[in-house]
Amino acid sequence: NRQHTCSKVCYLSLTKNVLSARTAFAQAQQCVRKDYGHGSVVCVCNATYCDFAAELSDDQLTGKNLAHYVSSKSGHRLLSMTMEFSSSTCKTSSTSYSNILDGDTVFTVNQDVKYQTMLGFGGATTDAATINLASLSNDAHELVLSTLQYFNLTEEDYVYKIPNIKRAQELSPNPIRVFTAPWSAPDWMKEIESSGASHLLPEYYETYANYYVKFLQLYAEQGVDFWGLTPQNEPSHGTTNGGFNSMGWTSEQLRDWTAGYFVPALKAAGLDDIVLMILDDQRTQVEEWAEDWYGNESVNSFSDGMAVHWYQDANSDASVLTQAHEQYPDKFLLYTEACIFTNGVIEPILGDWSRAERYASSILETTNNWVAGWIEWNLALSVEGGPSWMGNSADSPVIVNATADEFYKQPLFYALAHFSKFVPPGSVHIGLETEDDGGISNIAFLTPEGNTVVILMSTTYFGEGGSKYSLIRVPMGASDFSTEYYTYDDVAGDTSLQYFALRQFEDYHLKIPYLKQIREMSSQDIKLFTAPWSAPYWMKDNGTAFGRSALRLENYKPWAQYFVKYFDAYADANITFWGLTPQNEPNQGGVHKVHIISMGWTAKQLRGFIAEHLGPALEENGYSYLKLMAYDDSGLYLPEYLQSILKNKTTRSYVSGVAIHAYHDDNIDPNIISNLQTEFPDKFFLYTEGEYLHQITVDDLGTWERGEYYGRSLFQSLNHWVTGWTDWNMVLDTAGGPVWSKAPYNAPIIANASADEFLKQPAFYFMTHFSAFVPPASRRIQLKTTKDGGLETVAFLTPEDNIVINLENRGGVPTFAWKENRKPLMKNHLQCTQPGLNPELTFFGSLVQHESSALEHAAT
């Protein structure tokens, strides 16, 4: 909205209908969606068509409305509409916020608080990017450049680039700042070690300075003038190993060469007005380089700003950026390289939303810490993630399919576009205040035209700032934690399931909307699986929901079709499942009487039901992709039950994995799971239910031992081939419910509705140490120790090649150290401690580091 004076402020209130939406304000070309099965979609463009966002002219922004653009995991791409401020969302100095609805998250823009002025957002015209552009037809090539018209920064290299840069400059409504960085001097100017590390020979210092100047001059002759430069791309890389073309410098070496040779050469050529940025390397080095360069009075005079790469951001806090700004406020900070890659492993994942959220999270984090711009590494890459002479594959905002003469705009593209399109150069980062952000990452800008731009991104249990859960169990019908007993067909004798229907309240009002909201918020693909507690009472031999019972033989077929009906109904509501188990706790209803909803199965009975009814029904109705898991009960009877079920070849062909509950873990030998994995190596093992079985009381809130229960089960199971762990109830109320079965229990989050607050218990953080740092597709790897000293340990290698080590210390280890290749890596850091314990102890910690060579990549 247009700038307001201090006497009147309009605020944004999320989650309630304080803002009234109108229809889209202008015609836009919609995204042609294509789903590759990776959680979201790409937008397909070719020589004749590409989507673009609707534009809103300045005179349409009246001060009483705002332009609203949304991109989402479900497929919205810069979806646009206007939203009008209602009277309840504006106040003057004499009014209050009394009209705000309970539960609203409120953001108040404060234009009197000003931070950095923005340089812009953009990408790099690498050789690979321009080769891919050239592989398209002229019309498609032109459309790619048109879609990138809001990228107002670009990094330079050598081949194919000048024509694309000049054309991009012609198409862009904003001036494009072009800057450059060298990867290496010619080999004949360097000393190259056997490790691949290299450095410039001193006798070529002056020659190389003139070499750089010559490059700038030749581009100027072609009509491309550079705005800025860095003396070296990633100078630290070349000091340790080659890997790719590089040249090593210490901070002091590069500083002295720049001051003694390069700057004089620039001045002699009349190029000393080019902006010079230092570092161009990882955030972990910001403090050292700022001190070495800015702290030197003679060098400080020609150093304009600092270039930073994002690859090791996990190893340093973003506050180092703010500290650098506060110490040297006349120097800008610019992120000059970011991409998602793993050498030879990760290719582009078409439609992956989680990568877009990683970009957006980084931009929000860094710009909230004085960074003035953010640049993607490759503007466009091929479907293989190249070309790259060293076999490096990476993802990119635009993926070019030259054989089809089309290109795909990835979610990455739209994550960047929400910044580059709406925050032009010269915009100022301004204050955005809130008492409770509700897990919503946020930032605000004031553009040169006087428009206020607010950018928001949601998070929680499932978001970037939360636990990042990736598994959700959805009971099929009522469970013990329901308000009443129900099934989806309570009409006795309805074997055709004519009256099958989901519940209006439990399914359509509660479960389905929340599952969709979770899917929207999550940065990764959410795997949903289901399990029934009981068939309808009329299908069972005891005619009730409770007690010892079994399914009547004549109802095996309709019960299998009941599963199909359930999946069909949820699919109609746009909810797709990943897996299922045929029965929750089959021993409960078959071995003894219980007070919860149940239905018993012997292993022989369940084996026949899967082989003759459930497996074929799923296959015949298009659900053969679902992961069918056997058992779904505690480990007490696991070996005998599983061996009986899987000895039938037909049953075994339908079963993908084994579901286990955590309740009797302290009474069983965890090696039984390892032994079963050896016997059935083609089946995965998943913990599908775990909870501390203890009635909740006020005195229990915050009890550390409840969290330790989770920790024991997690470490024990994951070290014995279990691939995941699912909590039973994510959220319960202060009475441990609602529950109709008179068995209230505890949960990681306790909701206190009367106070409109929720309490995150120790169990939440025990879970989060795993769920937030060990994403799906991570591999457990070997972790050796000379002496465990009472430490529980487990290690993983993530898909991004990060090593994650989880530790729990319930003993008396006073100190310990990590080692990488026999060199000290990192001493223990306090992460999460029980009140009253020695604060020097690491009680439960997660170490994340990027060096994949730190540990042997041997699965154990």
Q: Tokens representing 718? A: 């994951």
The larger pLDDT score, comparing residue 105 to residue 507, is at 507
CA dihedral 734, 738, 742, 748 (to 10 degrees): -50
Same-domain check for residues 227 and 323: yes
Is residue 44 assigned to a domain? no
Is residue 431 assigned to a domain? no
573-586 mean pLDDT:
94
pTM attached to this predicted model: 0.62
Same-domain check for residues 409 and 500: no
Same-domain check for residues 793 and 652: no
Dist. CA 51–CA 277, nearest whole Å = 36
Tell which of 750, 772, 794 closes a domain: 772
Q: Residue 247: which of 256, 238, 236 has the closest Cα? A: 238
Could you write out the DSSP letters of every residue in 537-581? GGGBSSSSSSSS--B-GGGHHHHHHHHHHHHHHHHHTT----EE-
379-388 mean pLDDT:
87
Is residue 31 assigned to a domain? no
The pLDDT tens digits for 751-764 are 887 877 778 888 88
Amino acid at 279: L
Residue 212 reports pLDDT greater than 70: yes
Residue 8 reports pLDDT greater than 60: no
Dist. CA 80–CA 256, nearest whole Å = 51
**Contact between residue 380 and residue 400 where contact means Cβ atoms under 8 Å apart:** yes
The larger pLDDT score, comparing residue 493 to residue 700, is at 493
- Residue 679 designated active-site: no
The total of structural domains in the chain comes to 3
**Contact between residue 378 and residue 339 where contact means Cβ atoms under 8 Å apart:** yes
The pLDDT of residue 130 is 61
Q: Residue 686: which of 742, 736, 628 has the closest Cα? A: 628
Is residue 438 assigned to a domain? no
**Which of the following is catalytic: 156, 337, 365, 585?**
337
Same-domain check for residues 700 and 553: yes
> Which structural domain, as residue segments, surrounds residue 790?
777-860
Same-domain check for residues 767 and 795: no
Same-domain check for residues 477 and 551: yes
| Least reliable range by pLDDT among 389-398, 477-486, 514-523, 837-846 | 837-846
629: Cα separation from own chain's centroid? 27
**Contact between residue 565 and residue 497 where contact means Cβ atoms under 8 Å apart:** yes
Is residue 46 assigned to a domain? no
Same-domain check for residues 478 and 544: yes
Tell which of 748, 772, 796 closes a domain: 772
The pLDDT tens digits for 257-305 are 999 999 999 999 999 999 999 999 999 999 999 999 999 888 899 999 9
Same-domain check for residues 155 and 235: yes
The pLDDT tens digits for 323-345 are 999 999 999 999 999 988 654 34
The pLDDT tens digits for 704-718 are 877 888 888 899 999
Tell which of 703, 738, 772 closes a domain: 772
Dist. CA 794–CA 781, nearest whole Å = 8
Q: Residue 766: which of 810, 722, 706, 717 has the closest Cα? A: 706
Percent of the chain with pLDDT over 90: 41
Dist. CA 576–CA 428, nearest whole Å = 43
Q: Residue 269: which of 212, 213, 208, 205 has the closest Cα? A: 213
Is residue 457 assigned to a domain? no
Q: Residue 654: which of 739, 727, 581, 756 has the closest Cα? A: 581
Dist. CA 746–CA 729, nearest whole Å = 8
Q: Rg for the chain (alpha carbons), in Å? A: 30
Question: Is 27 buried (19+), middle (13-18) or exposed (0-12) by CB count in 10 A?
Answer: exposed
Q: Which residues pair with 846 in a beta bridge?
A: 806
Same-domain check for residues 787 and 747: no
Same-domain check for residues 794 and 726: no
**Which of the following is catalytic: 155, 156, 234, 689?**
234
- Give the pLDDT band (50/70/90) at residue 146: low
Same-domain check for residues 328 and 235: yes
**Contact between residue 422 and residue 396 where contact means Cβ atoms under 8 Å apart:** no
| Count of beta carbons in the 10 Å neighbourhood of residue 521 | 22
Same-domain check for residues 762 and 799: no
Is residue 503 assigned to a domain? yes
- Residue 234 designated active-site: yes
Dist. CA 209–CA 269, nearest whole Å = 11
Instruction: List the CATH number of the domain containing 147.
Output: 3.20.20.80
